[in-house]
Amino acid sequence: MGIDIIIQNQIHEKIELAYGDAEDTLVKYRANAPAGSLLSGLHAHADTMFNTSQLNVLLDELANMSADDDKEAELLTALRKAAETAIRRNGYLWFSGD
């Protein structure tokens, strides 16, 4: 079980797997995210996809988050880089839940 974070281009072709099996850490962030935030809308057992407009909001949310350990820091860095890549490519960030 896990959540893979996948960058897609404008026509939904997979560019790269940005992070595999992020479920444990994302569950924590999702549980602590304010109601109505993008992170609060992530689903652990289904797919969630953000477009470039939503990714700009996600970057703002990530800027206000801090990591408690190395695993969380790695995930936050991967999320920021993946969101920035998807924005540059006019693409999407796909969270593929199990």
Domains (range + CATH), the chain: 3-97 (3.40.1760)
pLDDT at position 32:
85
Mean pLDDT of 31-49: 89
Statement: residue 22 has pLDDT above 80: no
Concatenate the DSSP letters of all residues of the chain into one string.
Answer: --EEEEEE-TTS-EEEEEES--HHHHHHHHHHSPTTSTGGG--TTSEEEE-HHHHHHHHHHHHT---SSHHHHHHHHHHHHHHHHHHHTT-EEEEEE-
Q: What is the mean pLDDT of residues 70-96?
A: 94
Q: With 80 as the cut, is the pLDDT of residue 14 above it?
A: yes
